[in-house]
Structure 1
Amino acid sequence: MKEKITITATELFLNLGFKSVTMDDIANEMGISKKTIYTHFNNKTALVTEVTSSLFCVISEGIDLICAAEKNSIEELYEIKRFVMEHLKNEKSSPQYQLQKYYPKIYATLKKKQFDVMQDCVKDNLNRGVNSGMYRNNIDVEFVARIYFTGVIGIKDNELFPAKMFPMHSLMDQFLEHHLRGICTPQGLETLQKFITTTNQSS
């Protein structure tokens, strides 16, 4: 039952927002009493902690599998973006922003975990991109990895990038293109252009 509650809560939180969804909403969605939820979670904060931790694990494992396939560096980033957006429901409810605003302690813990995972993944991507000739060989890997992380976190700030002006799907595409154009070689830019064209055709 605990797992079912977590799955249902995840769906509701991602679609409607961490703030908007109440324990009553989750109970009604599942056709159970609120008391049943409280036998597994002491309060909503405990449930939000479980949901974010569970989602983080699923996404981290998925990213690990994508990285293990060792595709070219540019293709890998697009594949990771597609996978993450799919699992976060295209971030319709700005989950990271709501988490930061209403559950700052949970957000801080999650951000630290995200940083640790992303640094390893992004630095590996950058090094392989340099070795394969896709990325310039004079980039500062440590700096670019941290700037990339800062950007990924920053574009999810709803005050800086309101969803009505910047839908998350196109925002992620623009950010990824911006990141790659700054580090690609002419060979890498050719590959990047193919992905941009493919993305535009499929959207």
Structure 2
Amino acid sequence: MREKIVHRATELFLSLGVKSVTMDDIANELGISKKTIYVHFENKTQLVEASTLEVFEIISQGIDAICQLQKDPIEEIYDIKKLVMEHLKDEKSSPYHQLQKYYPKIFSSLRSKQYRLMEDCVADNLKRGITLGLYRDNLEIDIISKLYFTSIRSLKDKQLFPLKHFSMSSLMNHYLEYHVRGICTPKGLKVLTKIINNQN
């Protein structure tokens, strides 16, 4: 039952936002009493934390699976983007922003986990790209990794990029092209152009 509660709560939080969804809403969706939820979670904060962790673990496992395929590094970046967007919808409900505002401790913990995951993934991607001649060989991997993580995070800033003007999918596509163009060789640019053309 605990897993069912977390799974349904996660879907609701992503679709409607963590602030909008009440424990009553979750109970009604599952056809159970609110008391049943409280058997497994003392309060909504605990449930939000469990839901956040579930999404992170699913995405983390998906990213690990993609990285293990050792695909073309540029293709790998776009595969990871696709995976993340599928799990986070289009973020119209701003769950990331709401988490930051209403559950700052959970948000801070999530951000640290995201950084550790992305740091290893991006660094490995950059090293392989350099080895394959797709990325410039004078890249400072540590700096580029941090710039990448910081930039991806800034795309979620609703003051900078309000959802009524910018969809997350469009922002991600523009940023990834910007990122790859900045680090790739002429050989890498051919791969990027092919990927972009296939998306259209």
TM-score normalised by structure 1 residue count: 0.97
Partner AA of 2:157 in structure 1 = D
What is the letter of the counterpart of residue 133 of structure 1? Answer: G
Contiguous gaps of at least 5 residues in structure 2: none
Name the CA distance, whole Å, in 1 between partners of 2:145 and 2:76. 15
Residue correspondence of structure 1 range 41-56 to structure 2 within 5 A? 41-56=41-56
Instruction: Give the match for residue 2 of structure 1.
Output: 2
- How far off its partner does 1:7 sit? 0.4
**Deviating runs (4+, > 4 A) in structure 1?**
none
Which secondary structure state, in structure 2, belongs to the residue aligned with residue 90 of structure 1?
A: coil
Corresponding residue of 1:100:
100
* Mapping for residues 157-196 of structure 1, pairs under 5 Å: 157-196=157-196
Q: Which residue is 1:136 aligned to?
A: 136
The amino acid that maps onto 1:166 is F
Structure 1 residue 57: Cα displacement: 0.9
Paired residue secondary structure (2:183): coil
Counterpart for residue 32 of structure 1: 32
- CA drift at 1:101: 0.9
Report the Cα offset of residue 160 of structure 1: 1.0
Q: Residues 64-83 of structure 1: matches in 2 within 5 Å?
A: 64-83=64-83
Does 2:18 align with 1:18? yes
Counterpart-to-counterpart distance in 2, 1:176 and 1:19: 30
Could you tell me how far apart the structure 2 residues matched to 1:158 and 1:198 are? 29
Corresponding residue for residue 117 of structure 2: 117
The runs of 5 or more residues in structure 1 that have no matched partner are: none
Displacement of 1:188: 0.6
| Residues in 2 aligned to 1:92 and 1:85: alpha-carbon distance in whole angstroms | 12
Question: Among the aligned pairs, what percent are the same residue?
Answer: 60
SS at match of 1:6: helix
- Please give the secondary structure, in 2, of the residue aligned with 1:166: coil
CA distance in 1, matches of 2:73, 2:92: 28
Question: Residues 60-113 of structure 1: CA distance to partner in whole angstroms, max 9, x if unpaired?
Answer: 111000000000100000000001110112222222111111110000001001
| SS of structure 2 residue aligned to 1:52 | helix
Tell me by how many angstroms 1:14 deviates: 0.4
What TM-score, normalized by structure 2, do the two folds share? 0.98
Q: Which residue does the alignment assign to 2:88?
A: 88
